[in-house]
Structure 1
């Protein structure tokens, strides 16, 4: 069995202990962010799940109030861009009517990711979707959770290991047999019954708030706490959880079901967590799905409506947006892949798009030094099938992936710096102009780095 996913930072991240003097500025559905192309709203959708009716409502909002497209974030949330001045109230009314604002005070803290194929492909140890819904309800009912940063992240892994790369703050991992789950925050962890998992995650988040206050850091993320605060002073919390009822022993389960290295159905390949584009077989206990890639995480409302139509007519009536900027349509099959492909979405497992990402870039972002989406598209084939590549318009690298990846950063002089980032990577930046970028990019994507 592979090592359990961890919510500790990657080795390539620098641990810092900042002292926060203000709250974070993450946008939400009610707190809009002003960009060069208009206002931006970020709609939190726990585990990326929206009903077909909610999908239509989002399409209508983007069409009526925004630029006619939806962006998928690296946490599986949805963004509307190009919003006009003064539309915040109307947007809030549209989202509320669709059930996308269940608790306005808490809307920015509903940051929940979960295994997107859980319950669909027969893999994993436990369907975590019911636990997601319970956790969301607990977060929205808590008087303390509005104090969490809009960057604080909860993750629920059904045992397949796909949440490991997302660097969550509070992690729930299903264990073999599904009789127990492990909840981890910082260096503290507890093994509890699945039905106690959501409450354990809430208590872990509240323990983090206590630690952030006690240490004087007012930290936004667990990894920002000083070393002595990582334990979160959580012993009473974990005693309460584990004493509620002894967890039954977990029966042995097949290691392959939890092995993130196994390129089984729905896996994007060795070491990859993202669902591969195309049909996802149901397996022994699932309902199957259609996995669709979204080039650069941006899709028109027309393409979005195509997916909603499939979900309503051929699936279970819901969509699952993934942290890898894709969409899973539960219950749909290979017979429905033609319409998404015609709408510009990716259903071919051999497509180079799933390995390529980019930030907003010009003209939407004032800080960007290049139109990185256009440049990424022009260099799509360079090194296809190798390391993932992410294009950034400036050194902030908004939305960049975890793990090992090729970092392409605009320098403002018509050039890009190319480097390999991640655990074990030791490749210094190489500055190249656009005409000579393709060869350097292809070479960087074929570099093999050791894993630790």
Structure 2
């Protein structure tokens, strides 16, 4: 019996048919949407679709109601603003979620945005990774002011001091690596998934399923990770270690084990309590669930300025509202919007004196600026699990 996949993730490369037209998903690199790109998206949402935009739990923007004739124009605009890969196969697997602030988080010891971009670059460079299942994802969370500790996905990277703590969904082993080495280690784990799971069309489709099927030790062994967490050279990788391009040149910290041991009796920043090399496995976070009650909304002081987090009721935003938020980011902030997994957009660089003006405008737009707003408990608009993505040449470029 052939296994079936449900809940395909659309992208600009793979539009999905829905009741109100075609859906496409835009994945802002490193959760960052420049204000000019946001205005272009707002215009395209109205011109090419029905003007409705959904915020997803992967920090993406989903545009609704596109027509067959308008998909190509929307995709071209998205790529022109650096919001999508030129290669459709790369865009389909470019699923990297990270905390909103990255280097703008004064409490963060590691730049999650640099690591997220590093993973995206390796996804683009390595043709083998284009065989990953379309829902396979990476999570990079080093945030202190705006962390996302409850989110899970296939390969997760979280800050542990000035290093990175890597875990597999469904697993219990933690791998510690220097921040500079983390993207390459994530790639090796993704390659291990492919080596053991097979093509994207064949089950298992996610890391959790693979770990349950073959065991975590088998995945780590396929990635060349020894029990002491030091990496061993695999086929084609000795050249890389000597400066070539055959694979990942990863330098591992000799203090990795002692760093984990030092954390064994302390609370880990991601909310788990470390216990040597084993932690309790996290449960998957359902798509389009209500935001966690402690998800930040409103103004947060962050260094010399602050960040204003605007909640979107039920996760659905109108194109006109996105344009106004982009204008606010230009006028009062750092000229970017940051996407979050909790149905909210963040505007960094807002001063205390300007926070009131941002709040007033957001309220006029019907958005949420108070964490106690009862609309935060409303479920998001359901993701439609309906037909497979559109794939005809008249509707999307060939994959």
Alignment match of 2:117 (pick from 133, 145, 149): 133
Going from structure 1 to structure 2, the CA distance change for 1:144 and 1:189 (only over 3 Å counts) comes to: farther
Q: Do residues 74 (structure 1) and 81 (structure 2) align?
A: no
User: Per-residue deviation at 1:50?
Assistant: 1.3
User: Per-residue deviation at 1:25?
Assistant: 3.8
Going from structure 1 to structure 2, the CA distance change for 1:313 and 1:250 (only over 3 Å counts) comes to: farther
Q: Do residues 42 (structure 1) and 25 (structure 2) align?
A: yes
User: Per-residue deviation at 1:229?
Assistant: 4.2
User: Per-residue deviation at 1:162?
Assistant: 4.4
Going from structure 1 to structure 2, the CA distance change for 1:231 and 1:44 (only over 3 Å counts) comes to: farther
Alignment match of 1:234 (pick from 220, 224, 233): 220
User: Per-residue deviation at 1:121?
Assistant: 4.7
Distance (Å, rounded) in 2 between the aligned partners of 1:314 and 1:158:
25
Alignment match of 1:172 (pick from 157, 164, 170): 157
Distance (Å, rounded) in 2 between the aligned partners of 1:340 and 1:322:
17
Going from structure 1 to structure 2, the CA distance change for 1:70 and 1:216 (only over 3 Å counts) comes to: closer
Distance (Å, rounded) in 1 between the aligned partners of 2:3 and 2:95:
20
Q: Which has the higher contact order (CA 8 A, sep 6+)?
A: 2
Distance (Å, rounded) in 1 between the aligned partners of 2:41 and 2:197:
36
Structure 1, residues 405-447: CA drift from partner, whole Å, max 9, x if none?
xxxxxxxxxxxxxxxxxxxxxxxxxxxxxxxxxxxxxxxxxxx
Alignment match of 2:99 (pick from 93, 97, 115): 115
Which stretch has the larger CA shift, 100-109 or 323-332?
A: 100-109
Matched residue, 1:281: 301
Q: Is the 8 A contact 1:163 1:273 kept in 2?
A: no
Matched residue, 1:415: none
Q: Do residues 55 (structure 1) and 38 (structure 2) align?
A: yes
Distance (Å, rounded) in 2 between the aligned partners of 1:145 and 1:278:
39
Distance (Å, rounded) in 2 between the aligned partners of 1:24 and 1:113:
18
Going from structure 1 to structure 2, the CA distance change for 1:273 and 1:165 (only over 3 Å counts) comes to: farther
Distance (Å, rounded) in 1 between the aligned partners of 2:378 and 2:121:
35
Q: Is the 8 A contact 1:112 1:155 kept in 2?
A: yes
Matched residue, 1:246: 253
Q: Do residues 327 (structure 1) and 334 (structure 2) align?
A: no
SS of 2:320 mapped into structure 1: helix
Which stretch has the larger CA shift, 327-336 or 293-302?
A: 327-336
Matched residue, 1:204: 189
Matched residue, 2:269: 258
Distance (Å, rounded) in 1 between the aligned partners of 2:345 and 2:153:
21
Give the paired residue count.
335
Matched residue, 2:363: 341
* TM-score (ref. length: structure 1): 0.66
Distance (Å, rounded) in 1 between the aligned partners of 2:337 and 2:200:
41
Distance (Å, rounded) in 2 between the aligned partners of 1:279 and 1:169:
32
Alignment match of 2:316 (pick from 298, 318, 321): 298
Alignment match of 1:84 (pick from 47, 55, 67): 67
Distance (Å, rounded) in 1 between the aligned partners of 2:132 and 2:97:
16
Structure 1, residues 138-190: CA drift from partner, whole Å, max 9, x if none?
112210121111211211121659444322100111103x1x21112253542
Q: Do residues 353 (structure 1) and 375 (structure 2) align?
A: yes
Alignment match of 1:190 (pick from 160, 165, 175): 175
* TM-score (ref. length: structure 2): 0.74
Going from structure 1 to structure 2, the CA distance change for 1:273 and 1:224 (only over 3 Å counts) comes to: farther
Structure 1, residues 244-270: CA drift from partner, whole Å, max 9, x if none?
2425565989x7893759xxxxxxxxx
Structure 1, residues 353-400: CA drift from partner, whole Å, max 9, x if none?
222223248xx8989xxxxxxxxxxxxxxxxxxxxxxxxxxxxxxxxx
Going from structure 1 to structure 2, the CA distance change for 1:273 and 1:99 (only over 3 Å counts) comes to: farther
Matched residue, 2:136: 152
- Structure 2 stretches lacking a partner, 5+ long: 233-249, 273-290, 388-399
Matched residue, 1:28: 11
Q: Is the 8 A contact 2:54 2:316 kept in 1?
A: yes
Distance (Å, rounded) in 1 between the aligned partners of 2:4 and 2:378:
36
- Structure 1 stretches lacking a partner, 5+ long: 1-17, 262-270, 368-452
Q: CA RMSD in A?
A: 3.4
Q: Is the 8 A contact 1:19 1:219 kept in 2?
A: no
SS of 1:350 mapped into structure 2: coil
Alignment match of 1:223 (pick from 191, 203, 208): 208
